[in-house]
Amino acid sequence: MTLVYHVIYWFGLLEYSLFKSTNKYSYLAFRKLYGLTNGRINKTYSNRISNKRGKFKFPEITTGLTGKLDPNRLEKIISKIEEQGYVIFDELLPEEICQRILDFSMKVPSVAITENNDQTKVKYDPNNPIAPIYRFDEEDVLKNEDLKNIFYDINFIRIAQEYLRCKPLNNSIIMWWSTLYKKAASSRAAQLYHFDMDHPKFIKFFIYLTDVDANSGPHCYVKGSHITKPKNLTKDKRYSDLEISQKYEASDVIEILGSRGTIVAVDTSGIHKGKLPIDHDRLIVQIEFTNSFFGQKVKRSTVAELPKSQYDELYDEVFRRLELKK
């Protein structure tokens, strides 16, 4: 059966190279093979991508949301992500930006997603939540100048490039509220342990836009689980806290707490979840970079949805805005 998955997967890669689209069977085979090979299939394809794609040439020092970034600091950041799967930055998104985005989130309708995947676009009302998660459309997110600037942050691009080992592709920027609607963890709201398998290799930046303590839905992560996983935890499914505790030491399971503005870079191919909020709702924004669009289909905005032949033009615009050249 494993051979069949390999055939479907490699046929899907060929199809993607010709038509720039992933059929669902190839994607399912790709996800299955990730578990069967404990991630080796991803490493093989990612190495091929790294050898083909170049890198952007950055100045020695860049300044962005994570402060000043020089080669020495960049190396330390990447080493930490490669070792443990995540890094928490000392810098915070400025308070006034957090407040503007929070105000924006209260005015713009978002999609309330129920456990049955019923979806209704409404304005978020903290006093009367109708779903465990309210997700904003990317088109709406990118109409906000603060969020657009986060999407184009030069340090995020630089860190992503170093981690992916090639020019990064902006996969998505999403924002959502996790609410007090349910008193039990929601699978639909990713509140049970799992691992993501969106693309061959990817990295996500999370920014807390509300204060997050242990009772406000912190991001929980199992250190080192992006490298390899115990055999019983390689299936593409949700896992209970008990299943995780049976395979990992308590010290390996981290709750990422922080005041609003906290910035975290995470390889979510590692085992993780968003903890169920029980005291306060949580607002978070996520920016994802990947080395290839092979994999999960994402409804992209007009800004991000460009043919591959034109994709560098998007980055030309990024660097033009920053008065830099590749």
pLDDT at site 317: 53
Is the separation of the CB atoms in 17 and 34 below 8 Å? no
Q: Which of 270, 272, 124, 318 is nearest to 209 (CA)?
A: 124
pLDDT at site 118: 85
Helices 71-84 and 154-164 cross at an angle (nearest 10°) of 60
Structure letter (DSSP) for residue 232: G
Percent of the chain whose predicted confidence (pLDDT) is above 90: 73
Taking the domain 59-321, which CATH number applies? 2.60.120.620
Rounded distance between C-alpha atoms, residue 239 and residue 77, angstroms: 29
Helices (H), 197-261: 241-245
Which of 85-94, 177-186, 271-280 bottoms out in mean pLDDT, i.e. has the lowest?
Answer: 177-186
Burial of 66 (0-12, 13-18, 19+ CB in 10 A): buried
pTM of the model: 0.91
Tokens 């639909």 sit on residue: 188
**Range 219-232 average pLDDT:** 96
Say whether 113 sits in a helix, a strand or coil. strand
pLDDT at site 326: 39
74 versus 117: the higher-pLDDT residue is 74
* pLDDT band of 325, cuts 50, 70, 90: very low
Whether pLDDT at 309 is above 70: no
Q: Which of 78, 89, 86, 90 is nearest to 222 (CA)?
A: 86
Neighbours of 20 (CB within 10 A): 12
**Range 288-308 average pLDDT:** 68
pLDDT at site 2: 86
Whether pLDDT at 33 is above 50: yes
Rounded distance between C-alpha atoms, residue 294 and residue 37, angstroms: 18
Rounded distance between C-alpha atoms, residue 249 and residue 291, angstroms: 32
pLDDT at site 114: 85
**Range 60-86 average pLDDT:** 97
**Range 23-51 average pLDDT:** 92
Whether pLDDT at 55 is above 50: yes
Rounded distance between C-alpha atoms, residue 326 and residue 323, angstroms: 10
167 versus 270: the higher-pLDDT residue is 270
Rounded distance between C-alpha atoms, residue 306 and residue 20, angstroms: 11
Residue type, 112: A
Q: What is the pLDDT of residues 58-72, one digit of tens each?
A: 889 999 999 999 999
**Range 230-234 average pLDDT:** 93
pLDDT at site 282: 96
DSSP string, 164-211: HTS--EEEEEEEEEE-SS-SS--TTTT-SBB---SSSSEEEEEEESS-
